[in-house]
A and B are shown apart, each in its own frame.
Chain A
Amino acid sequence: MLEIKDLHAGFDGAEILQGISLSVKAGEVHAIMGPNGSGKSTLAKVLAGHPSYEATAGGVMYGGRNLLDMDAEQRALEGIFLGFQYPVEIPGVNNAEFLRMAYNAKRVHNGEDELDPLDFDEILNEKMSWLGMEVKYKNRSLNDGFSGGEKKKNEILQMAILQPKLAVLDETDSGLDIDALRVVAGGVNKLRSPDNALILITHYQRLLEYIQPDFVHVLSRGKIVKSGEKGLALELEAMGYDWLTTTNA
């Protein structure tokens, strides 16, 4: 599904990713862990097509196509979803209306008719109940004044509505209390299927207790320094990131 080969990328001339290679197949869950500043969020932004981030070498193939040739909108329509670490607040844009626009943009892209507000509302209600979201969040402005936990739930709600092939969740667990984390993880687990894949970017092992990854990769200074199965996350938790960076230095 996703093939990242020796990817070098950065921001404003600074090279943050220094040769990342990663292969993600349908049905897999990959966790990417690493200390602050290791390039985790940069990887997420590069995959989603942030215009300020530039790939300087290497390549990314997605479903047989060159991902780097596509802009953010195309990537989204082709099934890539970025769950933001800091979801952007957009005052004045109605949450439900926005969700319907996004949902319909995808339907139109897939050659289907747009769904009218009433039919969409049914879908929305169902997904909101999965996440235990109160109805009032439909009519609030997009992320505006939402607490940290509500914002993250709203990200997963969008993921549930858009049903991406590849979701990249950037520190979805940060800022969540344990109950919210359980709900969010439950929502994500519901969305797992043999046809889609998930990249979880996280600082802590805690999230991985709820969403079991198939592979764990450790990112440090823009490179994957160690890959393994889910046990690696526990090792990391016990030994700290220093253990890896020093043993690999």
Chain B
Amino acid sequence: MSGSVKEAPGQAESLFLELHKKFIKDTPPSGGLRPLAEAALKRFETLGFPHRKHEMYTFVGTQDLVAQPFTLSGGDPTPDGDFLRSQILPGCEKSVVVLVDGRYRADLSDTSALAGDLAIVHLAEALADSDLQKYFKQVVDEENDVFAALNAAFLTEGVQLALKQKAAPEAPLQILCVSSGSAAGPVLNQPRVLIQVGPLAEVKLITSFCGERPNYFVNATMDILVEEGGQVACSQVQRDALDAWNFCKTRISLASDSRCFSVGAYYGSRLVRHHCDARLKAPGAEFALNAVSVLGGQEQAHQFVRIHHEAPHTTSHQLFKNIVDGKGRTSVDGTVIVCAGAQLTHSDQLINNLMLSDEARVDNKPNLMIFADDVKCTHGATVGQVDPDQMFYLKTRGLSEKTAKELLTKSFAESVIDTVRFPALAAELKRSLLKKLEA
């Protein structure tokens, strides 16, 4: 029925409103977080969960997700030591910030390699800064993604990671978001991390999502604010339990001559949605977003990208490589917005999909909205199967059908993996990301 698109009005929302009451009672947000959480709750109520034709959720069905009887993770579960160690990347042993079920855990974190460069502050304290307060109020008031509003409505345990002016630590900072999951029933956890990169600082970040047990929904929000001349190379690695939901909104704000180069790697799970909202606010800002996903079974991953060129002389690049097998489903909905006056913007976007089965599904929605007249913007999307000419070539050299197919699939993903700026992570992705296709 096209007339009634909103399913079971209010029912799903009321589940979460109940959950919120419990949250306010059990773990009331402190200080400056309280008004933000309240404003965000209002935003959540106004937005409501998306109906099937919601513009932001065209390719993502959330009806099943929001009908789940979620509980909030209680207590301070401590992950198994071996599990935790296995999730820390080589080279990050002394530069890792651990969040368990959205809570920052100083007892599990070690940032000694970044001493003097990094300050870790509870968000409630960080909000004493009036500029930050203003920023948070604005993003809450203007929030258009209901899941990000939901995250803010439950804001109590956020953490600020501030990298000082001109900091250039050798070691990459790993932000490890562990979901502990539960055998009892689905658990909701909502990490909130604010990363501030000071002027002329040069840092490497890796955000990794992992689950110790199944049965959870991680709904994260990351804010990355890069000040003048700051440079960030960041990677986001999603490697959750197979039945997990992983939603993450990343807001990136780039000041003049700052750069953010990010690479996402998605191992897939029940439903992954990454919402990237980048704002190039001043001349010289540059943003790159590359992502690779490998999906099989019934897994689904969705990229929702909005890049706003708000100033002249700004540059953005996007490259997506998605591999789908089985009944997997991948989609990219990416819009580049060149605001009025943002002359000499340069933007490119390319989405490549490799389908390995007849039942896999791919949706692409590349889009450009240009309100300036002297810009260079390109976009493109391809969907294909393994190239038969390449297969034939490899087979004439004695490689088996299976080996040739694996080699070509790997090579498809590697052009993105090779852009990861941390050798240990790139090596790990090469080793494990494509493993699931080798069955």
User: A130 near B: Cβ within 8 Å?
Assistant: no
A105→B398 contact, CB < 8 A: yes
* CB neighbors of B among A22-81 (8 A): 48-52, 71-73, 75-77, 81
Q: Give residues 358-393 of B contacting A (CB, 8 Å).
A: 388-390, 392-393
CB distance from A153 to the nearest CB of B (A): 16
Q: Which residues of A contact B400 (CB under 8 A)?
A: 73, 105
For the complex formed, measure the closest distance between the CB of B322 and the CB atoms of chain A, giving whole angstroms: 15
In the assembled complex, how far is the CB of residue B352 from the closest CB belonging to chain A, in whole angstroms? 11
A residues adjacent to B (C-beta < 8 A): 48-52, 71-73, 75-77, 81-82, 84, 87-88, 90-93, 98, 101-102, 105-106, 109, 141, 158, 162
Which stretch from B102-110, B144-152, B216-224, B405-413 is at the chain A interface? B405-413
Q: How far is the CA of A141 from the CA of B412 in the complex (A)?
A: 12
B350 to chain A, nearest CB (A): 13
Task: Output the least CB separation between B407 and chain A (Å).
Answer: 6
Q: Once the chains bind, are A98 and B407 in contact (CB under 8 Å)?
A: yes
Smallest beta-carbon distance B386→chain A, Å: 11
The answer to the question of B401 belonging to the interface, with a C-beta cut-off of 8 Å to chain A, is yes
Q: Is the CB of B407 within 8 A of A93?
A: yes
B397 touches A93 (CB 8 A): no
Whether B393 lies near A106 (C-beta < 8 A) is no
Say whether, besides A51-B388, A101-B403, A105-B403, A82 and B396 are in contact (CB < 8 Å). Answer: yes
- Complex Cα distance, B414 from A91, in Å, reads 9
19 contacting pairs across A/B (C-beta < 8 A):
A48-B396, A73-B400, A76-B395, A76-B396, A76-B397, A77-B398, A82-B396, A88-B392, A90-B394, A91-B415, A92-B410, A92-B411, A92-B413, A93-B410, A93-B411, A102-B398, A105-B403, A106-B398, A158-B397
Q: Say yes or no: A73-B399 contact (C-beta < 8 A), given A88-B390, A88-B393.
A: yes
Total residue contacts A-B, CB cutoff 8 A: 67
Q: How far is the CA of A26 from the CA of B27 in the complex (A)?
A: 85
Complex: A72 Cα to B410 Cα, angstroms: 22
Q: Nearest-CB distance from A81 to chain B (Å)? A: 7
B interface secondary structure, majority? helix
Task: Judge whether B392 and A72 touch: CB under 8 Å.
Answer: yes
Contact of A73 among B401, B413, B415 (CB under 8 A): B401
User: In the complex, which of the residues A50, A76, A90, A92 contacts B398, with contact meaning CB atoms closer than 8 Å?
Assistant: A76
Bound-complex Cα distance A88 to B392 (A): 9
B392 and A50 contacting across the interface, CB-CB below 8 Å: yes
A162 & B398 in contact (Cβ 8 Å cutoff): yes
User: In the complex, which residues of chain A have a beta carbon less than 8 angstroms from the beta carbon of B397?
Assistant: 76, 98, 102, 105, 158, 162
Contact in complex: A72, B407 (CB < 8 Å): no
Known: A73-B399, A76-B396. 16 other contacts (CB 8 A): A49-B395, A52-B388, A71-B395, A72-B392, A75-B396, A77-B398, A82-B396, A87-B393, A88-B393, A92-B412, A93-B408, A101-B399, A101-B407, A109-B398, A162-B397, A162-B398
Contacts of A90 in B (CB 8 A): 390, 393-394, 408, 411
How far does the Cβ of A151 sit from chain B's closest Cβ, in whole Å?
Answer: 11
Q: Give B313 Cβ to nearest chain A Cβ, in Å.
A: 30
- Bound complex: CA of A109 vs CA of B400, how far in Å? 11
Chain B residues with Cβ under 8 A from A102's Cβ?
397-399
Considering the chains assembled together, what is the distance between the CA atoms of A75 and B400 in angstroms? 11
